A and B are shown apart, each in its own frame.
Chain A
Amino acid sequence: MSKNPEFVKFDKVDKSYDGKVLVVKDLQLDIAEGEFITMLGPSGSGKTTCLMMLAGFETPTHGEILLDGNIISNIPPHKRGIGMVFQNYALFPHMTVYENLAFPLRVRKVEKDEIDKKVDKALSMVSLNGFETRMPAQLSGGQQQRVAVARALVFDPAVVLMDEPLGALDKNLRESMQYEIKHIHESIGVTVVYVTHDQSEALTMSNRIAVFNDGKVQQLSNPAELYEKPVNSFVAEFIGENNTFNGEVVDIAKDKCKVKLANSEILANPISVKSKGEKTTVSLRPERALINPTDKMDNMFTGKIEEVIYHGDHTRVRLNLLGSSEFILKVPNSTSNLELKVSQDINIGWNSADARALDPK
């Protein structure tokens, strides 16, 4: 069976709640069968609205949503056969774990034996066997979350939607749940549409990430590309850490451009600038800049250390460089560590290919 690359399709979808402001603008998004796709964005960026439209709780103002080639805009939520994990789990508090899991099967009139089998299988998937008779209130947050995941999967839906499901968990639990959900996805091959505002969660789990802002998908690509090659300054800002320089393009070649800052010039990789005189924001990942670079780099500057913050596995160094005192360096705490002291002058270098000249902020 070949995978359908357009299993879920948003076709020119607009959504407005008040008739004045579009919260989703002309959304064009294809989701392949079996894919784990994450909608990532700040709150109010329209990502949850998209999920709600897919689930059927909101209707698109314009455009169509297709599931496996069929338009589903007019199908009510209970007939879509889409599993959903809610932000606050939405377990039915008056039902036991077993009854919660059996609910989607009972409404589908599945036979009792079959229900027992499926519930058992779903519970073992989230390693919660033996919890059948517990009430949701007797479970910890992580266990409730796993029940919610099991319930969304127990009726073998084609698509599972997850709306910030790990938001209420503490950091360690959240991380282990990320792997758990990822492994479940890998083992059963269901299509997952995941919504979060936590970028590390998105990077860890997804096949592809759609970064939302202002009702639009800013970039849709796999995690590595998203991090390494952001296409605009919003994505560069939103995903990971970022050093930025605002300036004006004074010279441009095929894969290099010269950007004039307040009182110096740097070389950068022209991504969204086309011609001389354009304003630009140059984005550089902190770990791409090296201290006392040995090999030849085409950007070499000297900065003054303003602050040194110890972070366990790495040290963050804030520098005053090229007129900005917000330049961040990440130095791994390896054995060959340097003596870094405040007020010390150090040499910094980076390759122009890593400095991406993007749209001005």
Chain B
Amino acid sequence: MSSETKQILTTDGIPLEVSLKKAEKKNKIKAFLLVAPLLLFLIITYVFPIGEMFSRSIDDKMITNMLPKTFKEMEKWDGQELPSEEVFSAFYYDFKVLVEKQEHGKLGQRLNKEKNGFNSITKRLFRQVKGKKIDESISIKEQIMKVHKRWRNVEYWQAIKRTAPPYTMAKYLKGMDMYYAADGSIAQVEEDRRIHRILWLRTLEIAFFVTLFCFLMGYPIAHLLATLPMKYSNLLMICVLLPFWTSLLVRTASWMILLQQQGVVNDFFVMIGLVADDNRPEMMYNKVGTYVAMTQILLPFMVLPLYSVMKTISPSLMRAGKSLGGTPFVAFWKVYFPLTIPGIGAGCLLVFILAIGYYITPALVGGASGTLISNQIAFHMKQTLDWSFASAMGLMLLSGVLVIYWIYNKLVGVDNIKLG
């Protein structure tokens, strides 16, 4: 029998396998060419920027390139006491090059971030170097130490040494309200300055509750959509999708009109006597505004996957559940609900991930207590110009989403997601 497993030949004598591969190759090339534009687009607009963001977030090469000699000498320094004459002179020669290139200011700013006080002492050193007051024939260490007493402080030299590696995780630590202490260990910032942690928690909290509200409101709508006769369900579908077709900015602005203290909703509350005219509740520039506006904006993302899953559930299943003796609730809970889980999973994941990175709406209606981590990222990109920190936080957000995706996959299974 085993001799029977010879190579099968096609009629023209070519082995079948070869012939098959040849035939499939054409299709494979065709398929690849079809997706190639998108692939290229994705690489340019997605993979590349994320790679760039990552390298930017950990990049610390500036000082490494500015003080090459110093760091070379520092490799021999134990970091406990003041460095040797060689380190000081290497630093002096590095600094001299920077002065000629007029880049000493950048060095001062960068070192100042590492330890306060560097800015002024590099300026002093600059004046000495510029005025050629440093005599290169005698001990440079002595002369630099005389420029300012901080140059005699070992902590400042330790700070320089910490900037030696071309890469640093400092931005990530900062994003979690931590920093490298003088001895290189990781420490927490003071309790009253831990703003990022509050923002992270708030972002998670708002994303969670927005997802929950979207689910609670979207589920019945999706069910109605899936069970109504076509002519009504189309109309309802348009109502659900209508916000989609309106500019996000316009929608958010209309929420501002509705929710502000002199706005329509408050007027209505006063009119029906729910609140006193002089005690109108704040519904905007706080979490309430963020919740309301974001829930409304993200609702379609919950409804659509739910609808597409519910549409596939035969109404006879619910009937079967009831005819077999299940009360309407049992039939729903044991039969209908488990079948909608793929849609729930897809909808919740979609809404949560969108909510966690939401920007415009919290920026406009969030106020101080309703801003999210994305607003902080935008702040660092536009105001402080600390792009590496913004990148680090962006990546933390991204990895957070990936972790959630991973947990979801463990709990529900990605195969169970149905987007339509």
A binding-site residues for B, Cβ under 8 Å: 55-57, 76-84, 86-88, 90-94, 103-104, 107-108, 151-152, 155, 161
Contacts and interface: CB of A to CB of B under 8 A. Distances in A.
Given A78-B326, A81-B325, A94-B339, A103 B334 contact: yes
Contacts of B316: 86-88, 90
A83 B324 contact: yes
Contact of B326 (A90, A103, A161): A103
Contacts of B335: 92
A107 B339 contact: no
A76 B322 contact: yes
Given A92-B335, A107-B330, A77 B319 contact: yes
B325 A88 contact: no
Interface in B299-356: 314, 316-317, 319-328, 330-331, 334-335, 338-339
Contacts of B317: 90, 92
B322 A83 contact: no
Residue of B319, B320, B330 with most partner-chain A CB within 10 A: B320
A88 B327 CA distance: 22
A78 B323 contact: yes
B321 to A, nearest CB: 7
Contact of A83 (B323, B330, B331): B323
Interface of B: 314, 316-317, 319-328, 330-331, 334-335, 338-339
Given A57-B322, A90-B317, A92-B317, 14 more contacts: A55-B323, A56-B323, A57-B323, A77-B319, A77-B322, A87-B316, A90-B319, A91-B320, A93-B339, A94-B338, A103-B324, A103-B326, A107-B325, A161-B323
Residue of B324, B326, B328, B335 with most partner-chain A CB within 10 A: B324
Given A94-B338, A103-B334, A86 B319 contact: yes
B319 A78 contact: no
Contacts of B331: 78
Given A78-B328, A103-B334, A92 B323 contact: no
A93 B314 CA distance: 11
Nearest to B337: A94
A156 to B, nearest CB: 11
Contact of B314 (A57, A88, A108, A161): A88
Contacts of B322: 56-57, 76-78
A103 B326 CA distance: 8
Nearest to B326: A107
Given A88-B314, A90-B316, A82 B321 contact: no
A291 to B, nearest CB: 50
Contacts of A56: 322-323
A155 B321 CA distance: 13
B316 to A, nearest CB: 4
Nearest to B330: A107
Interface residues of B: mostly helix, strand, loop or mixed? helix
Contacts of B325: 78-79, 81, 104, 107-108, 155
A338 to B, nearest CB: 51
B339 A77 contact: no
B324 to A, nearest CB: 4
A82 B323 contact: yes
Given A88-B314, A90-B314, A90-B317, A78 B327 contact: yes
A77 B330 CA distance: 13
Contacts of B324: 78, 83-84, 103-104, 107, 151-152, 155
24 contacts: A57-B319, A57-B323, A76-B322, A77-B322, A78-B328, A79-B325, A83-B323, A84-B319, A84-B320, A84-B324, A87-B316, A92-B320, A92-B321, A92-B334, A94-B339, A103-B324, A104-B324, A104-B325, A104-B326, A107-B325, A107-B330, A152-B324, A155-B324, A161-B323
A242 B325 CA distance: 44
A26 to B, nearest CB: 26
Contacts of B328: 76, 78
B285 to A, nearest CB: 46
A87 B334 CA distance: 21
A104 B323 CA distance: 9
A88 B335 CA distance: 16
Contacts of A94: 338-339
Contacts of A83: 323-324
Nearest to A101: B324
Contacts of A78: 322-328, 330-331
A90 B338 contact: no
B160 to A, nearest CB: 64
A152 B327 CA distance: 16
B334 A77 contact: no
Contact of B320 (A79, A80, A86): A86
Contacts of B339: 93-94
A90 B327 contact: no
A94 to B, nearest CB: 5
Task: List the 3 shortest-distance A-B pairs measured between CB atoms, nearest first.
Answer: A104-B324, A90-B320, A84-B323
Contacts of A57: 319, 322-323
B44 to A, nearest CB: 42
Contacts of B320: 84, 86, 90-92
Contacts of B314: 88, 90
Contacts of B330: 78, 107
A108 B320 CA distance: 15
A94 B324 CA distance: 16
Residue of A80, A86, A91 with most partner-chain B CB within 10 A: A86
Nearest to B323: A84
A93 B334 CA distance: 11
Contacts of B323: 55-57, 77-78, 80, 82-84, 161
A86 B314 CA distance: 11
B268 to A, nearest CB: 39
Nearest to A91: B320
A105 to B, nearest CB: 9
Contact of B321 (A55, A80, A103, A108): A103
Contacts of A107: 324-327, 330
Contacts of A151: 324
A86 B339 CA distance: 19
Contacts of A87: 316
